[in-house]
């Protein structure tokens, strides 16, 4: 339904978009890769500009994780082009990922239009796995810039969790109790619960952890 934000675990909607790098199909053009799709309220605004610079400075780190970035705001493509030219000329940063030019169709499909902010999109982030499934959604107000290191940490965390069948603790890899170790899924029967205490480091049978 138009205007409804997709839910975690759902497939990212199929979208035909116009970007600063030409026409694209999302998420199909990034099939087999993780995708971080993020929206911004408007071009040529202070917080958005600093966010784009921050994303670009970590772009190589995202690509090392087989992850691509795609930005969006409700502006025409020539506005996006002029904006990234300004960033390059004045801030010496070359934005190398595509920015979607949206008339409102994409934003409405993803539920990104803030009801109290006219046609401006909120600061949203969708982390989409290589199979096109939405794994995380972050939602920020216009006045608060995002923490790109946290988004990068989330991508790493999902990949570690998926590969090893584990859970990721708070503030990983700098958790206050187990540092960079990961959490073993809780036992579901008495026998496994007893074996867990012998096999792993545990605070109790339901809270065991290990180093990868």
Catalytic site residue 48? yes
Phi/psi of residue 103, nearest 5 degrees: -90, 0
Which of 34, 48, 67, 208 is labelled catalytic?
48
Q: Using alpha carbons, list the distances in angstroms from residue 210 to 29, 151, 174.
A: 37, 24, 14
- By the 10 Å C-beta count (0-12 exposed, 13-18 middle, 19+ buried), 50 is classed as middle
CA angle 83–47–24, rounded 5-degree value: 50
Query: What gap in Å lies between CA 155 and CA 33, rounded to an integer?
Result: 11
Q: Would residue 111 be called left, alpha or beta, if left means φ above 0 and alpha means ψ between -120 and 50 degrees?
A: left
Write out the catalytic residue numbers.
48
């Amino acid at each position: 339904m138009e205007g409804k934000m997709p839910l975690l675990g759902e497939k990212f909607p199929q979208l035909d978009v116009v970007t600063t790098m030409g026409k694209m199909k999302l998420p199909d053009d990034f099939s087999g890769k993780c995708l971080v799709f993020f929206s911004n309220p408007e071009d040529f605004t202070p917080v958005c500009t600093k966010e784009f610079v921050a994303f670009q400075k970590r772009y190589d780190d995202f690509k090392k994780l087989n992850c691509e970035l795609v930005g969006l705001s409700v502006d025409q493509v020539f506005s996006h082009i002029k904006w990234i030219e300004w960033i390059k000329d004045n801030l010496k940063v070359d934005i190398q990922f595509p920015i979607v030019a949206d008339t409102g169709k994409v934003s409405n499909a993803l539920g990104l239009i803030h009801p109290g902010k006219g046609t401006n999109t909120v600061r949203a982030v969708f982390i989409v796995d290589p199979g096109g499934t939405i794994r995380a959604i972050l939602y920020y107000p216009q006045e608060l810039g995002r923490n790109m290191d946290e988004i990068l940490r989330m991508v790493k965390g999902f990949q570690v969790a998926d590969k090893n069948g584990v859970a990721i603790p708070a503030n990983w890899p700098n958790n206050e109790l187990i540092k960079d170790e990961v959490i073993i899924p809780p036992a579901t029967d008495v026998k496994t619960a007893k074996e867990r205490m012998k096999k792993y480091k545990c605070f109790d049978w339901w809270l065991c952890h290990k180093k990868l």
